[in-house]
Chain A
Amino acid sequence: MKQWVVSLMFLMLVGCGGGGGGSGSSAPSGPTAGSGSGSAPTSPTPSEPSAEDYKAAAVMLDLATFGVTDESLEAAAKIGPYAWLDEQFDTPPSYHLPIVYRYGSEYGYDISNGTIFPGLYRRFAFFERAFTAPDQLRQLTAYALSQILVVSDSGALGVNPVGLSSYYDTLLEHSFGNYRDLLLAVTLHPSMGFFLSHVNNAKTDTTANTFPDENYAREVMQLFSIGLYELNPDGSQKRDVQGNPIATYDNEDIQAFAKIFTGLAYDSTNREPEFGRNQAVFQLPMVMFDEYHEPGEKHLLKGQIVSDGQTGLEDIDDAIDNLFNHPNVGPFVGRQLIQRLVTSNPSPEYIARISAVFADNGEGVRGDMKAVVRAILTDEEIADAGRVREPFRRYLAAGRALNIGPVEGYKYGVTGYIVQNLTGQMVLTAPSVFNFYSPFYRPQGGMGLISPEMQITTEDTAIGVTNLMANLVYGDTPMATHPELSPVALNLEPLVDLVDNEDAFFDQLDRLFFAGNMSDFTRAILSEAMAEMSSSPSEEKVKLSLYLSLTSPEQAVFGGVQ
């Protein structure tokens, strides 16, 4: 944490008119072996993409990845954003659990005898994938889903990396699949069973005076599928004759669904599974014990009934179908995905377009996530977007754009603790199933606009995220790391090479951080700053430009319209 202070001292010298010139920074400057830092072609060719091609690529990459890189810019500018999307949809998933097992085996853990790996490994796995995986759109979609179908690192999920990585892999697996399959897989995932307590949830016992746990029944409806009120396809609430919103379910429905989600227990790898056993096996779906499943007929929503005599899993299947086919799912989930991926205040028309795709992908299929994600990312309303960027994604994007990588010969060891501490946000660490923020949060002074991310933007975190960027840009050990692993480093060389060609340098900052939409206002201020730094070493110019760019309100908010 101290190193960047030294480097920042350099700025003070410059500001006091103290020339600079020599080795102002004590931080070992320069690139260590950054991974995957493609360099831009240097000589123009007839087929070289135009400025407009780069801009279109920058917008798509900003929306659809964890961060724009030089390499991805070149690729997407060449083939165009829609072809790039197609490529992404066809890229096989990069799962997280194999990385957890890789670390486990490298450090001598043996999961077959029930050993629990250090919880840190799921963090290493996430950052390795976020920074380097080729299936960026899938990784990002899973991340967006992780803020709708929320589990968090409480209790056993915090200390055993298999639970959260396996859950994330489930989201990855279904990101471009069908929402119905996703909902079922999430329902049966032991991490969700643990988090919302429907694992080892037993049927009614009148002797003991106990009743089925209502937790999952409530949240699967309120948060994962239909929400509290009946919706029109454009996301607006339906109204009854008195003008009141219409509840989608009441507490009797909750108690009925609670019966559905009884009888599930952890599977086992080395012995017969047993209902009530608390040893969590997180990599396998929960299994049904019909003798603990509530018997009898059960009432679902919209008057649907599951008949007596079904198995527990048949009941669950019917209940998931019942929810999945509720007309609310398209607008309810679609609106939130738009908010995560594009804009905080989508118009009713935008929501309706996504609802329509959710209802039918054009081939009669409901819930096709690939079609939904494609429709969200190619909608005309992107031009009018406005979304405060999540602090966690600002960190990832800066890291990717600046070629974050391990020092040569070492492995990734990014834990994300520094982001969590300074911004309050980190993947799968929400304070509850209600995520980090409400999808309806309206900040003070926002003219009525919704901005979920402003709910976690306080005086404290506004400075926190600023300091995070200082730490990233000026630190020579920018990440909190696992002690025995190497620090990771940035490779600023491509930008250092550009800095004296101001137009090209700013164009590159624009594409990496401003989705190709940097305002003249910002460009003019950066230009003045560079003029003042004219006698400083190139690397210091780059660092100041980065620190200013990455902390400006223009960069912090995607889209300049709302």
Chain B
Amino acid sequence: MMINRRSLLRRGAQSAVSLGMSSVVPFSLLGSAGARASDDYRAVVCVLLAGGADSYNILVPRSEQAYAQYQARRSDLALSRNDLLPLEGALDGVSFGLHPAMSSLQQRFNAGQATLVTNIGPLVEPTTRAALEAGNVRLPLGLFSHSDQILSWQTATPANRAGTGFGGRMLDAMPGANVGLALAGNISLSGNNSFQAGAATGSYALSAADGVRRIAGYDSDVFRRYFDRFLEDPNASTLRRVYGNKVQSAIDTGDVFNSALEGATALSTPFSDHYFSAAMKRIAELISVRESLGVTRQTFFVTYGGWDHHEDTLGQQADMLPALDSGLGQFQVALDELGLSQSVTTFTISDFGRTLTSNGKGSDHGWGGNAMIMGGAVQGGQLYGHFPEQVEDNPLDVGRGRFLPSTATDAMYAEVSRWMGVAPESMGSVLPNWANFEGSTQGAGLMGMLTG
């Protein structure tokens, strides 16, 4: 399969910026090994649990007193202590367990390849309860709102909507990393998203189920010639150009992806049918062709939605968490198979944690929650951050068991950036608020969570 060089070249100059390519793609490198050796490869997979997962029922204290507090606070939402999957070790003297569906996470945690960062959430600057009440601290926009907090997690700029995301800015900061198809740096299995929006780097979306589509009839010469010409209207309005560029990008990069994916490793790791597993399998396959795509630093983005459990939390989590756990677990096995477990780190983000207290059926919108991190580079087997004591008078409780985060999202992202190879001098552009947290309690404690 040949790359459609003609159309790439034709449009290269005019669309480079809007396609997010820093320059015209150097074709000589496509289809051959990238400039860097494959052992330099690193990727992060961002799993968005859209809707605000009730992560205080994913990670639950098991120590007697702490469990009793949990049970009292959560009332009808409390999991049975006997059902919890024990985690080795303790945090601040308290031992923990996982939701009974999370056996892969438990196994990887206890094997030192997974962890959770506890009570983490978006903050603009170090924030105490007192400052919060006095109103003299900058706060994330739209606290407790889905549409805002889901953006705060993806962008790591919770006080403004600059339009770029953490993943996109991270690749912006490593411009030499992807000398092949720049667009393959950020690949989404769940459509356009804010996480991967960079100032310079774009993202590419493909379907988990159907892979890279081809345009019907495009192999017909007569159709293709006229179809292509419609994309070249010199007087097209801005929106028509934006639309046309997306079609052009689909054509150009589709060929490259299809061609590369023909060389994908046939994984022997079994994946289940659930779309989240299908997406994780597709990611593993794409990682296996990283050299054909000429990329050494990648972000992947996948959404598993439906976590807004205002009702039937226990039932819905029991339905949905098994697919999350098996998708994460199967992906990790596939990485082991590819020999890349050290090179790929997967983490979950979600709109927010939820209220500890029940509305009689489920839980409502909160703030801090627990993020899961998995991969060979993770110094697992221990929890990170600070787990809030689940009592009514905890000063971090801003109402009904909504917790002011003990750790800022930026702390986790700073550690991910460092591991990905972002230079210290670029940290300010990747995480504009990180400087606010360096040396503070809410910025501390995650250094060394990722190694290698």
Residues of A at under 8 Å CB distance from B? 4-5, 8-9, 11-12, 14-16, 154, 196-197, 200-202, 205, 208-215, 218, 222, 228, 251, 254-255, 258, 344, 386-388, 424, 431-434, 438, 440, 442-447, 449, 451, 454-464, 466-467, 470-471, 474, 519, 521-522, 525-526, 528-529, 532-533, 544, 547-548, 551-554, 556-557, 559-562
CA distance in complex: A557, B238 (Å): 10
Q: What CA separation (Å) do A308 and B217 show in the bound complex?
A: 68
B231 / chain A contacts, CB cutoff of 8 Å? 553
Could you say which residues of chain B place their CB within 8 Å of the CB of A463?
Answer: 213-215, 247, 250-251, 254
Expressed in whole angstroms, the Cα–Cα distance for A211 and B18 within the complex equals 49
Select one of B148, B243, B360 contacting A213, CB under 8 A. B360
Contact indicator per residue, chain B 63-95, by CB within 8 Å of chain A (1) or not (0):
000000000110110000000000000000000
Interface hits, B15-54 → A, CB 8 Å:
15, 17-20, 50-51
- What residues on A are CB-neighbors of B386 within 8 Å? none
- Residues from chain B with a CB closer than 8 A to the CB of A15 are 220-223, 225
B363 to chain A, nearest CB (A): 9
Q: Which residues of B contact A442 (CB under 8 A)?
A: 163
B399 pairs with A251, CB closer than 8 A: yes
Which of B163, B243, B254, B359 touches A454 (beta carbons < 8 Å)? B243
Bound Cα distance A19, B246 (Å)? 34
Q: Are B310 and A529 in contact (CB under 8 A)?
A: no
Q: Count of chain B residues with Cβ under 8 Å from any Cβ of A? A: 84
Residues of B within 8 A of A209 (CB): 72-73, 75, 357-358
Interface residues of B (CB under 8 A from A): 15, 17-20, 50-51, 72-73, 75-76, 142-148, 161, 163, 188, 191-192, 197, 202, 204-207, 210, 212-217, 219-223, 225-227, 229-231, 233, 235-247, 249-251, 253-254, 305-306, 308, 310-311, 355, 357-362, 364-365, 398-400, 402
Query: Is the beta-carbon distance between A213 and B242 smaller than 8 angstroms?
Result: no
CA distance A69 to B120 in the complex (A): 55
- Asked if A11 contacts B222 (CB within 8 A), the reply is yes
A459-B205, A519-B235, A521-B235 are contacts. A553–B240 as well, Cβ < 8 Å? yes
Chain A residue numbers with a CB within 8 Å of B142 are 228
Complex CA gap A214/B145 in Å reads: 11
Q: Please name 6 further chain A to chain B contacts, defined as beta carbons within 8 Å, in addition to the given A210-B76, A228-B148, A463-B251, sorted by A numbering.
A: A11-B217, A210-B357, A387-B239, A434-B146, A460-B210, A560-B236
In the complex, the answer to whether A214 meets B205 with C-beta atoms within 8 Å is: no
Option from A440, A458, A553 in Cβ contact (under 8 Å) with B205: A458
Contact, CB under 8 Å: B145 / A553:
no
**A548, B73: Cβ atoms closer than 8 Å:** no
Contacts of A202 in B (CB 8 A): 360
Contact pick for B226, options A200, A214, A460, A528, CB 8 Å? A528
B359 touches A214 (CB 8 A): yes
Residue of A nearest to B217 (CB): A8
* Chain B residues with CB below 8 A from A464, complex form: 213
With beta carbons under 8 angstroms apart, the residue of B50, B188, B216 that contacts A471 is B216
Given contacts A14-B222, A214-B359, A529-B226, contact A197 B310 (CB under 8 A): yes
Set of chain B residues within 8 Å of A4, measured between Cβ atoms:
216
Contact across chains for B357 and A211 when beta carbons are under 8 A apart: yes
A11 touches B220 (CB 8 A): yes
Residue pairs across A and B with Cβ atoms less than 8 A apart, 6 shown, are: A8-B220, A12-B221, A202-B360, A251-B143, A459-B206, A460-B205
Bound-state Cα–Cα, A209 to B359, Å: 9
Contact of A553 among B210, B247, B364 (CB under 8 A): B247
Q: Is the CB of B223 within 8 A of A548?
A: yes
Nearest Cβ on chain A to B3's Cβ, whole angstroms: 15
Q: How far is the CA of A474 from the CA of B216 in the complex (A)?
A: 10
Residues of A within 8 A of B220 (CB): 8-9, 11-12, 15
How far is it, in angstroms, between the C-alpha of A519 and the C-alpha of B234 when the chains are bound?
12
Among A196, A451, A466, A474, max chain B CB count under 10 A is at A466
Contact (Cβ within 8 A) A386 B237: yes
Q: How far is the CA of A218 from the CA of B308 in the complex (A)?
A: 13
A432 & B146 in contact (Cβ 8 Å cutoff): yes
Q: Given A213-B364, A553-B233, answer yes or no on A251-B144 (Cβ-Cβ < 8 Å).
A: yes
Q: Which residue of A lies closest to B358 (CB)?
A: A210
Q: Are A228 and B145 in contact (CB under 8 A)?
A: yes
CA distance A214 to B365 in the complex (A): 8
Bound Cα distance from A196 to B239, whole angstroms: 34
Contact: B205 with A548, CB < 8 Å?
no
| Chain A nearest Cβ from B399, distance in angstroms | 6
With A12-B219, A15-B221, A197-B310 known as contacts, the answer to whether A460 contacts B239 (CB < 8 A) is: no
When distances are taken between beta carbons in the complex, the residues of chain B under 8 Å from A457 are 192, 243, 246
Closest chain-B Cβ to A151's Cβ sits at a distance in Å of 13
Known A251-B143, A470-B217; contact A459-B310, beta-carbon cutoff 8 A: no
